[in-house]
Structure 1
Amino acid sequence: MTMVTDAAVMADSPVVALEEALREWRGAERPFSPAALARLDATESFPVAACGALDSAGLPAYYVPVQHGGRLAEFPQVVAMLRAVARHDLTVAIAHGKTFLGAVSVWVSGSPEQARWLGEQITGGAVVCWGLTERGHGSDILAGDLTAERVDEGWRLDGEKWLINNATRSQLMCVLARTSSNGGPRGFSLFLVDKRELPADRVRPTAKIATHGIRGADISGFTVHDVVLPPTALVGEPGTGSETVLKALQLTRTACAALSLGAGDHALRLATSFARHRRLYGRQVAEMPLARDLIGRAAAGVLLAEAVAAVTTRAVHVLPREMSVLAAVCKAFVPTMVQETIGQVAELLGARGYLTEVFEHGEFAKLDRDHRLVGIFDGSTLVNRQMLITQFTRLGRRYGAVDPTVADRLAGLVSGPLPAFDPGALTLTSASGCGLALAVPGLLHRIREQDSGDVGWKGLLADFELACADVHTAIAAHRPTSGMPGADAFALAERYELCVAGAACLLIHAHRLGDGVPSVVLRACLELAVSRLVPGRSGDDEVFDILAEHALAASGPLALFSGDWGEMPW
């Protein structure tokens, strides 16, 4: 099996290089100047200069797998790069990163020749959009009305796509079209369309749609009429479009974690800056217990979300056949957790968070508006929880066995070299359920053997153990019903996400404590997860105060695997 080096330990990491460039670009009158980005948001203008800077830095090459001529060898790397961009501005990250989303169906199912051509186009500067949704159909891609009819010359495309990111600015579009009048799972196909080769009067953009967040992004649509595509435009086999989309969504939903984590980093930076510099009642806000608790819990929320994202991005390489579960957990949990964090920061900032001329060019109000849209990208939170509910039968199996070797078998989810990126290995459902959640009893056994811990730590682990057992018992007892699942099933899916999040913390604890991740950080994350699994639980608030102290002193964003934690107590 081909192996690639773990980017986190590379001295010449492209992630570090991009982060340094982004800091430089924040200067006055530079592409990522906060004042300039605020003006663009106010006028709902596309961030042309910022996207151009990312192009010049070579970011598009990381949207293309190495086998197709790009630099995407490690999925966690491209997620880390998009997180770095989102840390400065979500609109830019969403506008630029959409090319990866538009291309990913070709990486999953396209022919080698098609993928190589697309790779050349993207590295050459072409923008790609993903035409899935239509007016009135929402997330139901099997209700689409845009048609592709087979003709002697290839395929004739007719219809409209709506609410599409970069629909107008893109040169290429990957379009899902109905190829059978009856529709259904085998009634749709994907087509890679080069707009530059089509008659201008047959492809018309629809007007830019005003949005509450990401105001400057090109959220629009397009109509096509009597457009004939060559046979080579078909992606995969006829009738496999919906299957390809569902597999591609496992990658794009995971990539969306970058947007939320970047927004969380940004919110924390604003919170700590405010707390250090604002004085009330004769002292710094940073000295006030309530403010410190808010900052500590907000930091724990971002780090807990990062734990889920970290194992999921590596699972793309290590456990691709379980991505139908992990990607759904990641997309439902990470934006939800980060939005809670943003809400905590809003409570801390008060009115200043929404005054554009008073505090940081109104950055907080903008990121709050922008991030609310992330939760609906590539399937809303409810859509992803429904995806979990459909797999409850498998997820509830075999839980409870204590296997002390499981921590070593899952080590690839948090450390070490990664197998080669192979989108073709993705499956629609996981036959084995979720190995990470099933590993909780074994991980707890391993940690208890390694670390006697204090009474509070032991109690935390015991509460998590009981909660996970209860969740899996309820999942095993769940019986599918026709139609939309009930509210109790969605609540159970939410609790399952917390079990996976806690399991991610345990796995990192088992393998990365000697690699720069302090025990107190993981304990704070687990405290946060268990507090939601066990309402009314009396936890340990001191861990949040310790985390707040480090957040207030840190010179850069907090991160599990790339932050400089220094000497932390505990």
Structure 2
Amino acid sequence: MKTQLPAAPDAVAPHRADAMERLFGDPRDPGNPLGFTQILAADERAEMFAAGEQALDAYGLNAEFVPPQYGGRLTRLDELIEIMRSVYRRDPCLGLGYGVSSFIASVNIWTAGNDEHCRQVAGMLLDNRKVSVAYHELAHGNDMAGTEFEAMPGPDGLLLNGRKEIITNLQRSDAVVMFARTDARPGPRSHSQILVDKSRIPDGRMRYLPRFPSVGMRGVQLGGVEFDDCPLPADSVVGRQGLGLETALKSFQITRTTLVAMFTGMLDTGLRTTLRHLKSRKLYGRTAADIPQVRSVLAGVHADLLLCEAFSTVAARAIHLVPAETGIYAQAVKFFVSKVLMDAMHRLSTLLGAHFYMREGDNAIFQKLLRDIQPAGFGHAARAACQVSLLPQLSLLAKRSWRDGPAAPADLFRLDADLPGIPFDRLTVSAGGRERLSRSLAPGLDAITGRDHERREIHRVGQQLTAELALLAEECAAIPASELSVAASSASYDLTHRYVNVLVGASCVELWRNNQHHPDPFLADPAWAAAALNRLTLRPGTRPENLPGPLEQRLFDELLERYESSTSFGLVRRQLADRLPKEN
């Protein structure tokens, strides 16, 4: 019997994330064919959630990954993130396995492909088909320059030889973007990206390898492939031959920023599930949510969620407005946000106690999300790899940006400001030591008036961060070349953590300061910015401290109000389809 699905949304609705929310309905309704009950059943079978994929087909999700000139709706990355958060807050396997695996692949095409490649991939996606991407090899991990998979010249074009072990949606995709060696000589120009149309592969030249079992993302179809003298036309090369690594590095600036930003939808559900459970537990005549230490953890996690969304929002808008600088922000977002999200989910698990790993019942979705959120720290690129990429840039940043220079444009922070289209053609491999977000913090603090408790907290933490930037400018300008490589000491790697803190702090201060007239009054409230800043760990290796009493109460009250009104907990308040539990 075929599952009856909700009607498809209006594809041109002004808030497509709201349409997605309505499409999926209340996830806790046991009668909802798209709810947690069915999602968990698919997870137990290690299968993709079929009804969810049908719903996303009906919505036309792939159109969100295609630029408008090729018939899609990919105009703003912040909108894409919001839409995907609604998917991730229910089933991260749908988010990755249906959605962003094709997005990761297609961004390479929009960045470097010719018009024929772009139209070919767009046609596949708009026809609800899938495209995969194969970057890494197990033997080389994040060292893409060591890639051995080959696409060397053959009699009639190219010959593919070698294997890739872990590719999302490999067997379900119609095409694969392969990162391959096209020159036997070492160096950065020895690799290219190859668009492999699987319909053009002769029999016997490609074989699939078994799926690697995984703890999390069980439903995502991960597989390997091996090619043996597989011929392909020479026009399968995406962009100029030898520029595959450059294309990948540019594409990563978009995908690393957006993917980890989507994961905040998982923390929203984790926080909502935990609060729901605690409010239902009666202890000494009160609910468990009334215990001071419990409230402190919940308020802190809420602040962490706001912190992550503030930084990732600014980074996503930066791709549109300051694309030459986004190579820095993308690495920083992946390094910072993934760690905060994973730590926050772990702290919530301590409040749930034995309930956090139960696979049945009202809280069962939590154990799935706790497993599924782990790839935030290593999927696509490891946090350590992002540090390795940031470290060599610190010396030039110290000399060219941190001591003087202009602040970032105000539209970077004004959430109601229009954005230009995504400038795929203006992405650069290196920022050249230029970035303006960190320079925005000091003038932003100077412009703050009023001395209430929240503004004093913003000033206190903000001034610590401006002092940190001045100190970093001295330390990094003098750092020896030997400390700018993979072999650097842990103290040198700590410099990247300290610098990222400044970027995050500037994002929070300027988002709050530039949204005083936003329709949502919460964005104009200094409490959220003060609370988020208080969650920064200014000394690497330390844990965030509990919020000061007044801020803790303000964040907890906001959390309760949003829970009771079924609205999202993040920076942008959005109406959710969740229903409230019945009072006992």
Can you list the C-alpha shifts for 1:362-408, whole angstroms capped at 9, x where unaligned? 211111111111211221000011111021122223566688x836x
* Aligned ranges 1:125-524 → 2 under 5 Å: 125-360=128-363, 362-397=364-399, 406=407, 409-415=409-415, 416-447=417-448, 450-454=449-453, 455-481=456-482, 482-515=485-518, 516=520, 517=523, 518-524=525-531
Matched with 1:60 is 62
- Structure 1 stretch 390-399 or stretch 496-505: which is displaced more? 390-399
Name the CA distance, whole Å, in 2 between partners of 1:473 and 1:280.
Answer: 54
Q: How much does 1:485 deviate?
A: 2.1
Change (3 A) 1:348 1:241: same
The one of 23, 27, 37 equivalent to 2:25 is 23
Q: Is the 8 A contact 1:26 1:32 kept in 2?
A: no
Q: How much does 1:26 deviate?
A: 6.1
> Helix, strand or coil for the counterpart of 1:180?
coil
In the alignment of these two chains, the number of paired residues is 550
Name the CA distance, whole Å, in 1 between partners of 2:34 and 2:17.
Answer: 17
Matched with 2:41 is 39
- Structure 1 stretch 21-30 or stretch 512-521: which is displaced more? 21-30
Can you list the C-alpha shifts for 1:306-346, whole angstroms capped at 9, x where unaligned? 01110011111001100110000111111111111101111
Change (3 A) 1:149 1:400: closer
> Helix, strand or coil for the counterpart of 1:117?
helix
Q: How much does 1:531 deviate?
A: 5.7
Q: How much does 1:283 deviate?
A: 1.1
The one of 535, 539, 559 equivalent to 2:570 is 559
Q: How much does 1:534 deviate?
A: 11
Can you list the C-alpha shifts for 1:417-470, whole angstroms capped at 9, x where unaligned? 1111121110011024321012221111122xx334445454343333333433
Change (3 A) 1:504 1:84: same
Change (3 A) 1:11 1:49: closer
> Helix, strand or coil for the counterpart of 1:390?
helix
Give the root-mean-square deviation of aligned CA atoms: 2.2
Q: How much does 1:158 deviate?
A: 1.2
- Structure 1 stretch 139-148 or stretch 438-447: which is displaced more? 438-447
Q: Is the 8 A contact 2:135 2:178 kept in 1?
A: yes
Matched with 1:541 is 549
Change (3 A) 1:341 1:532: farther
Q: TM-score, normalised by structure 2?
A: 0.89
Point out where structure 2 has 5 or more consecutive residues left out of the alignment. 1-11, 576-584
Q: TM-score, normalised by structure 1?
A: 0.91
- Structure 1 stretch 426-435 or stretch 97-106: which is displaced more? 426-435
Change (3 A) 1:156 1:262: same
Name the CA distance, whole Å, in 2 between partners of 1:431 and 1:206.
Answer: 42
> Helix, strand or coil for the counterpart of 1:174?
strand
Change (3 A) 1:538 1:255: closer
Point out where structure 1 has 5 or more consecutive residues left out of the alignment. 1-9, 565-570
Q: Is the 8 A contact 1:386 1:485 kept in 2?
A: no
- Structure 1 stretch 276-285 or stretch 526-535: which is displaced more? 526-535
Change (3 A) 1:25 1:115: farther
Q: Is the 8 A contact 1:260 1:334 kept in 2?
A: no
Q: Is the 8 A contact 2:192 2:244 kept in 1?
A: yes
Name the CA distance, whole Å, in 2 between partners of 1:390 and 1:118.
Answer: 35
Name the CA distance, whole Å, in 2 between partners of 1:273 and 1:105.
Answer: 42
Q: Percent identity?
A: 27
> Helix, strand or coil for the counterpart of 2:267?
helix
Matched with 1:4 is none
Matched with 2:536 is 529
Matched with 2:79 is 77
Name the CA distance, whole Å, in 1 between partners of 2:22 and 2:481.
Answer: 50
